[in-house]
Structure 1
């Protein structure tokens, strides 16, 4: 029996204290051999178009000398979208709904960006703290605001992704628990609404993957 709504997000399945649910994070790797080694199919061509489009988008945000760095953000997009999409299937653990997963993606990226920027582009990083045209009496306040906004970036990335994944799953769980008490006509309406919510969740899974990788690219472009 489910003790709370959030128990559906608990990684409870384990063998010898090793949480098996977290293995769902690596399930996306099972699709890679098919995409790269089997003869081209519609799915592989679609995925090729997606990563080509992402490479073009991310390349415009980065400097020409860093255009090959787009592979990092395309890989990040691929990992997140596989985890978000697999979490929509029954009995598959959604690892991207946990802050420990999302923070492990955003925090190392942010730390590496900050270290690279402050070591190699120190003056440029200082100029970012004071926007152009700021009055002199507002400069200390702007430095404080920009510093805080920089420090909370990995947290906002992680919370945005985890919260969006949790919200949709909770709504689907709440609606499904009322099914046993409804009449047949209301049950059909519930099934229809569940299907619409599932389609919405599939769109959210794609959008949040794109938002996470795009914002990471924008943060990287600011240190150049």
Structure 2
């Protein structure tokens, strides 16, 4: 019996005082068929088409400057990793690593820090102009600088919390409904199953959308420093 509803997200499984739940982060590599990398298949073609589409979209967001050549590889890899972990978390008894700030903040904070360091060292004037939006009245400039600075500082937190909160919300609702299934009348079980299937479908869409949002927002933050 759960003492706390949020305990379903605790990495409590351990071996030799080492958490085993975090192994789910790399679990996706074990379920990819070896032949997929050697012989073209429909799965391989669909995934390549998806990555090509992501590459074209992220390239448009980054721009055509020389400095951005190859940058889309980092963001498409980030999209692939988050999508894999979000999708694996929908399976029973698999720990959802992206529902923890430990993982999401670890991805968001180094990205934002590297963008800021690169921007302030190489494009200082450009970064300063971002603090005051065009057309701002002189009397409001000090306030706009404070607002833009705070908005810039909280970016890694909003990136991490957005992904974590969206993954936790659906999982909590499904867990809450599932825990009440044993005490429900038989006439309500079918309604519960239909509801759970609908929530699972919604969570699948959320898993795809949130990985896309994380990659696109990271790309947009990167494009602002050039």
- TM-score where L is the length of structure 2: 0.96
Partners of 1:72 and 1:160 lie apart in 2 by: 20
Structure 1, unmatched stretches of 5+, are: none
SS of 2:160 mapped into structure 1 = helix
Residue in 2 that maps onto 1:41: 41
Residue in 2 that maps onto 1:134: 136
**Displacement, 1:181?**
2.0
Asked if residue 93 in structure 1 is aligned to residue 95 in structure 2, the reply is yes
Structure 1's consecutive aligned runs of 4 or more residues displaced over 6 angstroms after TM superposition are none
| Counterparts of residues 104-183 of structure 1 (less than 5 Å) | 104-183=106-185
Residue in 2 that maps onto 1:17: 17
Partners of 1:155 and 1:7 lie apart in 2 by: 23
Partners of 2:108 and 2:71 lie apart in 1 by: 16
Structure 1's 36 and 124: CA in aligned 2 closer, same or farther, altered over 3 A?
farther
Structure 1's 141 and 47: CA in aligned 2 closer, same or farther, altered over 3 A?
same
| Counterparts of residues 56-67 of structure 1 (less than 5 Å) | 56-64=56-64, 65=66, 66-67=68-69
Asked if residue 26 in structure 1 is aligned to residue 14 in structure 2, the reply is no
**Displacement, 1:36?**
5.4
Asked if residue 216 in structure 1 is aligned to residue 218 in structure 2, the reply is yes
**Displacement, 1:137?**
0.3
Instruction: Provide the aligned C-alpha RMSD in A.
Output: 1.2
Equivalent pairs counted in the alignment come to 224
Structure 2, unmatched stretches of 5+, are: none
